């Protein structure tokens, strides 16, 4: 039985990924930033899906807190085999109007947080494991107002193949999943219905993604069936690009 640490697992794609991994037989550490009640809901849903789960609060940019998540996984379940970094922050603004405090907050979570989680994974993942980072298809779509967010996720994509090569000899895969417009609170907040409807029409499949769509790709990459995929960014977006 494998053990997974999933950040940002109290909601959205992270929650769906935790449930999918639990259903596949993984034990799951449900990482969350600020909502213990929501995290416990995820724990209950993972348990209902057939896995064992515990919640762990951690700011992904805090190396001590992230180390604590891994400590908990080792204490409760014996080690770590899969790491999914789904924690993220999205603050939108035209570049000319960008609030640099927002820029710093977002890049602290999305860049520093991703590197902190990846660093801990590189140090402590058992051989044969998998690291899956969550990026965004906006890196390629390049919508107006997304410059800082896309830049932060572009940094995540830039490290994937590098880390995969650095882990040579340990049979560990490192990949990113880049969702397109997906019906999560992170995406829906602040958008009026006309914008949402327009984006839903863009993919040839003519709908928004659902968290479960992305979770299925994550679970595949974490499984033996997905282990020959390495150093890649998988754009799970219904064909919007």
Domain boundaries, the chain: 3-233
pLDDT < 50 positions in the chain? none
Q: What is the pLDDT of residue 199?
A: 79
**Looking at residue 215, what is its pLDDT?**
97
> pLDDT at position 241, please?
66
Q: In which element (H, E) is residue 175 found?
A: strand 173-179
Rounded to two decimals, what is the model's pTM?
0.94
Fold of 3-233: Rossmann fold (3.40.50)
pLDDT attached to residue 7: 98
pLDDT confidence of residue 183? 82
- Per-residue model confidence (pLDDT) at position 202: 85
108 DSSP assignment: I
CA distance 76 to 186: 31
CB 26 within 8 Å of CB 51? yes
Give the pLDDT score at 200. Answer: 82
- Residue positions annotated with a catalytic role: 149
């Amino acid at each position: 039985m494998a053990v997974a640490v999933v950040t940002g697992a109290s909601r959205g794609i992270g929650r769906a990924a935790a449930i999918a991994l639990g259903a596949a037989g993984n034990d799951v550490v449900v990482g969350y930033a600020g909502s213990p009640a929501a995290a416990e809901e995820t724990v209950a849903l993972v348990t209902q899906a057939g896995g064992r789960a515990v919640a762990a609060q951690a700011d992904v940019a805090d190396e001590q807190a992230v180390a604590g998540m891994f400590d908990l996984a080792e204490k409760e379940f014996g080690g770590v085999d899969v790491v999914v970094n789904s924690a993220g922050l999205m603050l939108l603004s035209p570049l000319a109007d960008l609030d640099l405090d927002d820029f710093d907050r977002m890049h602290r979570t999305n860049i520093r947080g991703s590197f902190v989680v990846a660093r801990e994974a590189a140090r402590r993942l058992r051989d044969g494991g998998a690291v899956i980072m969550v990026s965004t298809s906006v890196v390629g779509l390049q919508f107006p107002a997304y410059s800082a967010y896309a830049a932060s996720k572009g940094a995540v994509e830039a490290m994937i193949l590098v880390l995969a090569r650095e882990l040579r000899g340990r049979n560990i895969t490192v990949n990113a999943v880049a969702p397109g417009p997906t019906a999560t609170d992170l995406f829906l907040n602040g958008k009026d219905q006309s914008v949402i409807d327009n984006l839903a029409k863009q993919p040839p499949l003519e709908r928004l993604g659902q968290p479960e769509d992305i979770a299925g790709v994550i679970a595949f990459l974490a499984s033996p069936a997905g282990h020959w995929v390495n150093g890649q960014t998988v754009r799970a977006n219904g064909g919007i690009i």
